[in-house]
Amino acid sequence: MTLTFPHINPVAIQLGPVAIHWYGLTYLAAFALFMLLALRRLHHQPYASVQGPGAWSRRDVEDMLFLGVLGVVIGGRLGYCLFYKPVYYATHPLEIFFVWQGGMSFHGGMLGVIASQWWFARSRHKPFWQVMDFVAPCVPLGLAAGRIGNFINGELWGRAADAALPWAMIFPQSGTMVPRHPSQIYQFLLEGLLLFVLLWLYARKERREAQVSAVFLIGYGVLRFVAEYFREPDAHLQWLQQASGLSMGQWLCVPMILAGILLWTWAAARRPQPLAARP
């Protein structure tokens, strides 16, 4: 028997004219998870051993989170407008600011976070890659929370699936009654839980600077690339899938994977920086 997407009210709490959406709550959950994991990360090496003015503290985590939130929101919105609907937003520039209409891009959000953490590293006189290696393992569970939000909203549904697939699901929002892959759950499991476990375990042992960041780029890129085979491309980007055989999400993952490989190789070839030399 084929499953049908359960109608879930996107509004979690209604307080008079104020509506609190589940999707917003998943963002809050993502930020809370980052805070929790980052505080644990302070006890990992090399962060626990850095002494003096460059020592890591809870204040650093709070400031990184604040800047990261700005990077996610601004970068995610601009990335969506640039990567997914450049022509539309070029002719409707004011709608770039209409964030309540939806439209966020992970890849844009990632670039926004990189920019925000570059600013943090520069202002705190910390090595940039040390900062990025700190952040990387704390991110995947937040991505998992976001995919739960996508599922609750009934958006980003999957491609058509064999009706015999036990977890195939009908998404009435798609405009058809065709059984589909619940791709939001696939991404929750792959880019969220699996990537978190792999990256957290990898980062528990001290690595050369930039290698943890490189593994994040490779891991997310590969897992998202795989998940995209089960996710229905956006209607206005179907032509790209038909012309190239790859979705926009997959094309955006290719440079991520290549950058991760090059970064890991570069980091492995560098001479390790003595701990005492770190700020």
Annotated binding site: 147
- Judge contact between 141 and 30, C-beta under 8 A: yes
- Judge contact between 253 and 105, C-beta under 8 A: no
The C-alpha atoms of residue 220 and residue 240 are separated, in whole angstroms, by 22
How far lies 108's CA from each of 9, 14, 55, 65, 111, in Å?
28, 31, 30, 17, 5
Q: Tally Cβ neighbours within 10 Å of residue 143.
A: 22
Residue with tokens 């991520």: 256
What are the start-end ranges of the H helices in 84-187?
A: 86-91, 106-124, 128-135, 140-153, 183-187
The C-alpha atoms of residue 143 and residue 153 are separated, in whole angstroms, by 15
